[in-house]
Structure 1
Amino acid sequence: MRTTTRISAAVAAGALALTTLTACGGDSAAGGGDGNVKIMVGGLDKVIYLPAMLTERLGHFKDEGVSVQLLTEPAGVQAETALVSGDVQGTVGFYDHTLDLQVKGKQVESVVQFSHAPGEVEIVSEKAAGDLTSAKDFKGKKLGVTGLGSSTDFLTKYLAVSNGVKTSEFTPVAVGAGQTFISALQQGSIQGGMTTDPTVATVLDKKLGRVLIDMRTPEGSQEALGGPYPSSSLYMRTEWVESHKETVQKLANAFVKTLKWMSTHSADEIAAKMPADYAQGGGKELYARAIESTLPMFTTDGVMPADGPATVERVLKAFNPNLKNAKVDLSKTYTTEFVKKAG
């Protein structure tokens, strides 16, 4: 059953509006107990985070006997904040936040790795396409990101500095995703920006912009970032994982079942399982196309790619002063304990 509520999250920015979706089974009102979990997603309708809602729609949470409340925030950085503040037990967001949080004294870890590529696309508006032909042209531009401090912000900064543009020489603009991103592109308040499907598919379909850098595949990640870039994942506070192993195993079982299911079904079949409004007004055909474009980013087993953490560390250290001279213990940023036991 799908319900929408207004929830107050005690975060630094104040009260945030959240959309609540409750999975079947058990008492979902109380979060945090064994078999009761709240998970914040950095945009439930984004294709990069599709396994979260798909797992519910396939009934895998219920099959595992775990009651999951899926919440949504427009940007991964807000989802991260909800986890750190204790409002939720898990976050579906980018793995790179685990490194950023570690140097800030917060220990969190990826327990299921959904992907081995970012799934992100740098879009340039048709109006700006003439003088924005590569990341070398970022200088002086206003570039859209989902939120300041988000993974789209991280990746945009890396693409800039790795192409000779200082982070102070362009302006990141927090525009979210979906219609807010599209409106910013249309109105010219940004010349380009980083976003995901189905927003990418909609922009291309409406001929509002074109692809500048495509990181939806492992090959695209290799070209832009120099290696596999594990992105969307289920990450949780390490302390909570250690004290709730049975529940974490159930979550891992459910998500791995979904990843395997995705690897053996078509984009059309996947789209048919998802809520109709996730197409963002583009219709079933466009939504299925968006899923098909992004499918290569997903793992089939939830296991962290071997060279992935090192790539993420190198990318973050290229521009992030907090990480540049900090020692990061990558072994504490993820675990494969649960996914390797998943059937």
Structure 2
Amino acid sequence: MTSGFLRGRMFVHLRRLVAAVVTVVLTVSVGACGAPAAVAPTTVRIGVGGLPLLVYLPTTLAQRLGYYAEEGLDVRLQEYQSGAKALEGLQAQNVDVVSGYYDHAIQMQANKRPVKAFVNMLRYPSVVLAVSPKAGKRITTIADLKGAKVGVTTPGSSSDFLLKYLLVRNGLKADDAVVHAIGGDASAITAMESGRVDAAVMIDPAFSLLQKRMGADRVRVLSDTRTAEGVREDFGVSTYPAAVLYSGTDWVSRNGRVAGKLTKAIVRTLDWMRKHTAAEIAERMPREYAAGDFDTYVQSIEHAKDAYSPDGTIHTDGAEAVSGVLRQFSAEISRISISLEDTFTNEFVNQI
């Protein structure tokens, strides 16, 4: 009798155990089919060579529009003084991706530390070489910059590359001007207003704010690459890939899914920008980026809109133009064969 009782108890426990297992299985199945558990977003650290600069605007705007989050990405934007400093952050593994200029991809291949650009945001360099009103009338051409103090964001930055190219193109040596690091935003304006530099390679909105404060007719422009006309005049091409997202070649290869999601978010942002006014774009950006002059900020965006890439594609002729420019003043680049197909990819743009 005791034996039968025990067998009965064991049977009851077995039935309960089976029921519990079935319940767990059903719960998991329903959760998977009906209400999937939340998946933690993938964190991506992006180094930006100056968050307020319009050349990098799509990087911030994509976050403000929620496009990164919709792709399942938790993007952390990390500001640096310049693109060169952002590149240093990538090399130190402090960031995963850089929002910087494409020319660094060619420079790094020459240095045997390859990086690859995977989406284009800017099809014109959109920088201006301007003369400080404090310099008076002694600088009227680029050739007059010999011995002058010229500001760039930092030495080794894309603004520095452009200055060297323009000097060489106008019959000078790449080091004929005395380069000063002045940053790209408020510090650049101060350097030009005070006369600490005689001229500077400037980026909007800083350049437009300088014109507003000192008078457009007092700020002499020696080169303006914000338009197709200016790009053709200085580089002889209709497109010149500038601001891109890039990372180490190995990272792009290992993280194709993440690179594809970043690309999709940026391309969606570029499309959104085409369909909205400069004022609507400005309203979405952090207010402090306007530096206290919202109207001028809007005007800067209006002038810059045509410079943004329509679809994120990096064109081969533009990449060749960048390589040709760098070869003119960089000995390390001019003496080696650059494999451009290793410096960029349109794979992720083509998948959209």
1:217 and 2:227 equivalent?
yes
User: Of 233, 236, 247, which aligns to 1:236?
Assistant: 247
Cα 1:132–1:237 change in 2 (3 A) is: same
TM-score by length of 2: 0.86
- CA distance in 2 between counterparts of 1:103 and 1:318 reads 14
1:275 and 2:293 equivalent?
no
What SS is found at the alignment partner of 1:93?
A: strand
1:169 and 2:179 equivalent?
no
Q: After superposition, where does 1:140-159 map in structure 2 within 5 Å?
A: 140-159=147-166
User: Of 104, 115, 129, which aligns to 2:111?
Assistant: 104
Q: Deviations over 1:138-186 (max 9, x none)?
A: 1121100000000000000000000001123211111112221112112
- CA distance in 1 between counterparts of 2:40 and 2:114 reads 28
Q: After superposition, where does 1:80-159 map in structure 2 within 5 Å?
A: 80-159=87-166
The offset of 1:134, in angstroms, is 2.0
Q: After superposition, where does 1:51-70 map in structure 2 within 5 Å?
A: 51-70=58-77
CA RMSD of aligned residues (A): 1.4
Given that residues 41 and 73 in structure 1 are in contact (C-alpha distance below 8 angstroms), is that contact kept between their aligned partners in structure 2? yes
User: Of 295, 302, 308, which aligns to 1:285?
Assistant: 295
- CA distance in 2 between counterparts of 1:320 and 1:52 reads 29
Q: After superposition, where does 1:255-266 map in structure 2 within 5 Å?
A: 255-266=266-277
Given that residues 134 and 194 in structure 2 are in contact (C-alpha distance below 8 angstroms), is that contact kept between their aligned partners in structure 1? no
Cα 1:314–1:207 change in 2 (3 A) is: same
Q: Which amino acid aligns with 1:52?
A: T
In structure 2, list runs of 5 or more residues that go unmatched. Answer: 1-37
Cα 1:142–1:27 change in 2 (3 A) is: farther
- CA distance in 2 between counterparts of 1:129 and 1:225 reads 28
- CA distance in 1 between counterparts of 2:279 and 2:70 reads 24
Cα 1:222–1:129 change in 2 (3 A) is: farther
Given that residues 26 and 36 in structure 1 are in contact (C-alpha distance below 8 angstroms), is that contact kept between their aligned partners in structure 2? no
In structure 1, list runs of 5 or more residues that go unmatched. Answer: 1-24, 29-34
The offset of 1:131, in angstroms, is 2.1
The offset of 1:187, in angstroms, is 2.1
What SS is found at the alignment partner of 1:268?
A: helix
Given that residues 26 and 67 in structure 1 are in contact (C-alpha distance below 8 angstroms), is that contact kept between their aligned partners in structure 2? no
- CA distance in 2 between counterparts of 1:82 and 1:26 reads 29
Structure 1's consecutive aligned runs of 4 or more residues displaced over 3 angstroms after TM superposition are: 25-28
Given that residues 26 and 66 in structure 1 are in contact (C-alpha distance below 8 angstroms), is that contact kept between their aligned partners in structure 2? no
Cα 1:138–1:27 change in 2 (3 A) is: farther
- CA distance in 2 between counterparts of 1:252 and 1:220 reads 28
- CA distance in 1 between counterparts of 2:211 and 2:226 reads 15
Range that drifts further, 136-145 or 330-339: 136-145
Q: Tell me what 1:326 maps to.
A: 336
- CA distance in 2 between counterparts of 1:302 and 1:322 reads 29
The offset of 1:276, in angstroms, is 0.4
Given that residues 134 and 193 in structure 2 are in contact (C-alpha distance below 8 angstroms), is that contact kept between their aligned partners in structure 1? no
- CA distance in 1 between counterparts of 2:162 and 2:175 reads 15
What SS is found at the alignment partner of 2:62?
A: helix
What SS is found at the alignment partner of 1:74?
A: coil
Q: After superposition, where does 1:66-81 map in structure 2 within 5 Å?
A: 66-81=73-88
1:254 and 2:261 equivalent?
no
1:295 and 2:305 equivalent?
yes
Report which of the two structures shows the higher radius of gyration computed on alpha carbons: 2
The offset of 1:189, in angstroms, is 1.6
What SS is found at the alignment partner of 2:258?
A: helix
Give the structure with the larger helix fraction.
2
Cα 1:206–1:335 change in 2 (3 A) is: same
